[in-house]
Amino acid sequence: ALRAAIMAKQGVDVSDDTARAIRLALGKCAESREEYEAFKSDSAACETETFKLPDGGELKLTSELYECGEVLMQDALGADESDAEHDHHGSLPAEICESVQKCPFDVRQLIVDNIVVHGEGSKLPGLEARLLVELQSRMS
Protein backbone atom coordinates (compact mmCIF):
# COMPACT_ATOMS: atom_id res chain seq x y z
CA ALA A 1 0.00 0.00 0.00
CA LEU A 2 2.85 2.40 0.80
CA ARG A 3 4.63 1.74 -2.51
CA ALA A 4 1.37 2.25 -4.42
CA ALA A 5 0.64 5.48 -2.54
CA ILE A 6 4.10 6.88 -3.28
CA MET A 7 3.79 5.90 -6.95
CA ALA A 8 0.30 7.41 -7.26
CA LYS A 9 1.11 10.65 -5.47
CA GLN A 10 4.70 11.27 -6.55
CA GLY A 11 5.29 9.05 -9.57
CA VAL A 12 8.28 7.44 -7.86
CA ASP A 13 8.62 3.65 -7.87
CA VAL A 14 10.49 2.65 -4.72
CA SER A 15 11.79 -0.87 -4.11
CA ASP A 16 10.32 -3.19 -1.49
CA ASP A 17 13.42 -2.63 0.66
CA THR A 18 13.07 1.14 0.44
CA ALA A 19 9.34 0.97 1.22
CA ARG A 20 10.13 -1.16 4.28
CA ALA A 21 12.80 1.31 5.42
CA ILE A 22 10.32 4.19 5.01
CA ARG A 23 7.65 2.27 6.94
CA LEU A 24 10.02 1.47 9.80
CA ALA A 25 11.44 4.99 10.02
CA LEU A 26 8.40 7.15 9.34
CA GLY A 27 5.22 5.04 9.12
CA LYS A 28 2.17 6.14 11.12
CA CYS A 29 -1.33 5.02 11.99
CA ALA A 30 -4.22 7.48 12.03
CA GLU A 31 -6.28 7.62 15.23
CA SER A 32 -9.49 6.83 13.32
CA ARG A 33 -10.71 5.98 9.84
CA GLU A 34 -12.11 9.52 9.60
CA GLU A 35 -8.70 11.01 10.37
CA TYR A 36 -7.10 8.75 7.74
CA GLU A 37 -9.66 9.84 5.13
CA ALA A 38 -9.09 13.50 6.04
CA PHE A 39 -5.31 13.12 5.67
CA LYS A 40 -5.74 11.24 2.41
CA SER A 41 -7.93 13.97 0.92
CA ASP A 42 -5.89 16.89 2.30
CA SER A 43 -2.16 16.17 2.53
CA ALA A 44 -1.59 19.70 3.82
CA ALA A 45 -3.14 18.55 7.10
CA CYS A 46 -0.22 16.11 7.54
CA GLU A 47 3.25 16.85 8.77
CA THR A 48 5.84 16.55 5.99
CA GLU A 49 8.59 14.00 6.58
CA THR A 50 11.76 13.67 4.49
CA PHE A 51 13.28 10.30 3.62
CA LYS A 52 16.74 10.05 2.07
CA LEU A 53 16.75 7.50 -0.75
CA PRO A 54 19.65 5.06 -1.30
CA ASP A 55 20.66 7.01 -4.44
CA GLY A 56 21.01 10.22 -2.41
CA GLY A 57 17.71 11.73 -3.53
CA GLU A 58 14.98 12.72 -1.10
CA LEU A 59 11.28 12.01 -0.86
CA LYS A 60 8.96 14.45 0.86
CA LEU A 61 6.15 12.34 2.33
CA THR A 62 2.86 13.33 3.95
CA SER A 63 -0.36 11.31 3.81
CA GLU A 64 1.42 8.33 2.21
CA LEU A 65 2.90 7.50 5.61
CA TYR A 66 -0.56 6.71 7.01
CA GLU A 67 -0.97 3.85 4.53
CA CYS A 68 1.41 1.87 6.74
CA GLY A 69 -1.12 1.69 9.57
CA GLU A 70 -4.27 1.73 7.49
CA VAL A 71 -3.32 -1.45 5.66
CA LEU A 72 -3.64 -3.20 9.04
CA MET A 73 -6.98 -1.59 9.88
CA GLN A 74 -9.06 -2.01 6.72
CA ASP A 75 -10.06 -5.33 5.17
CA ALA A 76 -8.22 -6.05 1.91
CA LEU A 77 -6.63 -2.58 1.65
CA GLY A 78 -3.23 -4.15 1.14
CA ALA A 79 -4.44 -7.16 -0.85
CA ASP A 80 -3.22 -7.43 -4.41
CA GLU A 81 -5.27 -9.86 -6.47
CA SER A 82 -2.26 -10.62 -8.66
CA ASP A 83 -0.30 -11.68 -5.60
CA ALA A 84 -1.16 -15.37 -5.42
CA GLU A 85 1.74 -16.16 -3.06
CA HIS A 86 0.10 -14.58 -0.03
CA ASP A 87 -3.15 -15.47 1.67
CA HIS A 88 -4.77 -12.14 2.53
CA HIS A 89 -7.09 -12.10 5.50
CA GLY A 90 -9.23 -9.39 6.98
CA SER A 91 -8.03 -6.41 8.96
CA LEU A 92 -6.20 -6.81 12.25
CA PRO A 93 -9.28 -5.74 14.28
CA ALA A 94 -11.51 -8.14 12.30
CA GLU A 95 -9.12 -11.04 12.87
CA ILE A 96 -8.87 -10.28 16.60
CA CYS A 97 -12.67 -10.03 16.93
CA GLU A 98 -13.15 -13.29 15.06
CA SER A 99 -10.70 -15.04 17.38
CA VAL A 100 -12.25 -13.56 20.52
CA GLN A 101 -15.77 -14.57 19.40
CA LYS A 102 -14.61 -18.21 19.31
CA CYS A 103 -13.76 -18.06 23.03
CA PRO A 104 -16.19 -18.70 25.88
CA PHE A 105 -18.25 -15.58 26.60
CA ASP A 106 -17.07 -15.26 30.21
CA VAL A 107 -13.38 -14.86 29.23
CA ARG A 108 -13.72 -12.60 26.20
CA GLN A 109 -13.19 -9.31 28.04
CA LEU A 110 -10.18 -10.75 29.84
CA ILE A 111 -8.68 -11.73 26.50
CA VAL A 112 -9.34 -8.30 24.96
CA ASP A 113 -7.85 -6.58 28.02
CA ASN A 114 -4.66 -8.62 27.63
CA ILE A 115 -3.96 -8.29 23.91
CA VAL A 116 -0.27 -7.86 23.16
CA VAL A 117 0.67 -6.23 19.87
CA HIS A 118 4.00 -7.53 18.61
CA GLY A 119 6.16 -7.34 15.50
CA GLU A 120 7.34 -4.59 13.18
CA GLY A 121 3.86 -3.17 12.65
CA SER A 122 3.38 -2.73 16.39
CA LYS A 123 5.97 0.06 16.37
CA LEU A 124 3.84 2.37 14.23
CA PRO A 125 2.95 5.51 16.19
CA GLY A 126 -0.79 5.54 16.83
CA LEU A 127 -1.37 1.82 16.19
CA GLU A 128 -2.29 0.81 19.73
CA ALA A 129 -4.74 3.70 20.18
CA ARG A 130 -6.36 3.01 16.80
CA LEU A 131 -6.62 -0.70 17.48
CA LEU A 132 -8.41 0.04 20.75
CA VAL A 133 -10.88 2.36 18.96
CA GLU A 134 -11.55 -0.24 16.25
CA LEU A 135 -12.01 -3.09 18.75
CA GLN A 136 -14.36 -1.04 20.92
CA SER A 137 -16.54 -0.13 17.94
CA ARG A 138 -16.68 -3.74 16.70
CA MET A 139 -17.31 -5.37 20.05
CA SER A 140 -19.86 -2.99 21.55
pTM above 0.85, yes or no: no
Tell me: pLDDT of 80 over 60.
no
Q: Quick: pLDDT tens for 85-126.
A: 445 568 999 999 999 999 999 999 999 999 998 988 889 999
Domain-by-domain residue ranges, the chain? Answer: 2-74+88-139
- What pLDDT shows up at residue 131? 93
- Residues of the chain above pLDDT 70, percent: 90
DSSP 47: P
Question: Which DSSP string corresponds to 7-20?
Answer: HHHH-----HHHHH
Tell me: pLDDT of 51 over 60.
yes
Query: Average pLDDT, stretch 33-51?
Result: 91
How many angstroms separate the Cα of 96 from the Cα of each of 52, 102, 116, 122? 36, 10, 11, 14
C-alpha 53: how far from chain center: 22
- What pLDDT shows up at residue 84? 46
